[in-house]
Amino acid sequence: MRTVQIRKVMGTAGLAGLLAVVAAAGSGCGGGESPDLVATLADYSIALSAATVPAGELTVKAVNKGTTVHEVVFVRTDLPEDKLPVVDNKVDEDQVEVVDEIEEFSAGKSRTATFDLPPGRYVLICNITAHYGLGMHTVLTVEQASATGGRRRQLPGRLREP
């Protein structure tokens, strides 16, 4: 007897796995954003990268180039920057409108925070004991976006063929 063996070879389709590489084009939001305002803190001064900023979301980077802890307190006031009410060698935060702050941090470090500051005139101070009196204050003006033309316009990307 002849046994005919029929081999059914199942065709295994050698499908090379297709790797769909989705290039996630990181457009827009995300890391590495540059601050809108840089506050450089030293012993004993505060220097800003801009005197006026548009209202709305504001990313502030504070850099401590001093030798001790510093902070940045945002006080909304029309008082002269060196005439805030002082009690016990500190600005009395109960007597002024403190809008926000970057809490104290070490020498040589930096801190970045995002604020949403209402328009107005601000005095930025460091309120570590005695630092205000030693000169850690400066003025920041927050303007209505319409006044500065600070609106963000979204222009369609225009492709020009040569």
List residues binding Cu ion (CB under 5 A).
70, 126, 128, 131, 136
Shortest approach of Cu ion to residue 111 CB, angstroms?
Answer: 13
Closer to Cu ion by Cβ: residue 75 or 136: 136
* C-alpha dist (Å) from residue 100 to 18, 19, 78, 123: 52, 49, 16, 11
Is the peptide bond preceding residue 132 cis, with omega within 30 degrees of 0?
no
Closer to Cu ion by Cβ: residue 97 or 103: 103
CA–CA dist 127, 95 (Å, integer): 14
Per-residue buried b or exposed e for 134-156, using 16+ beta carbons within 10 Å of the residue's own CB: eebbbebebbeeeeeeeeeeeee
**Token digits of residue 58:** 């504001």
CA–CA dist 50, 54 (Å, integer): 11
Shortest approach of Cu ion to residue 41 CB, angstroms?
Answer: 6
Residue nearest to Cu ion (CB): 126
Length of the chain: 162
Closer to Cu ion by Cβ: residue 68 or 146: 68
Shortest approach of Cu ion to residue 89 CB, angstroms?
Answer: 12
Shortest approach of Cu ion to residue 52 CB, angstroms?
Answer: 23
Closer to Cu ion by Cβ: residue 54 or 74: 74
Shortest approach of Cu ion to residue 93 CB, angstroms?
Answer: 15
CA–CA dist 69, 22 (Å, integer): 46
Closer to Cu ion by Cβ: residue 58 or 128: 128
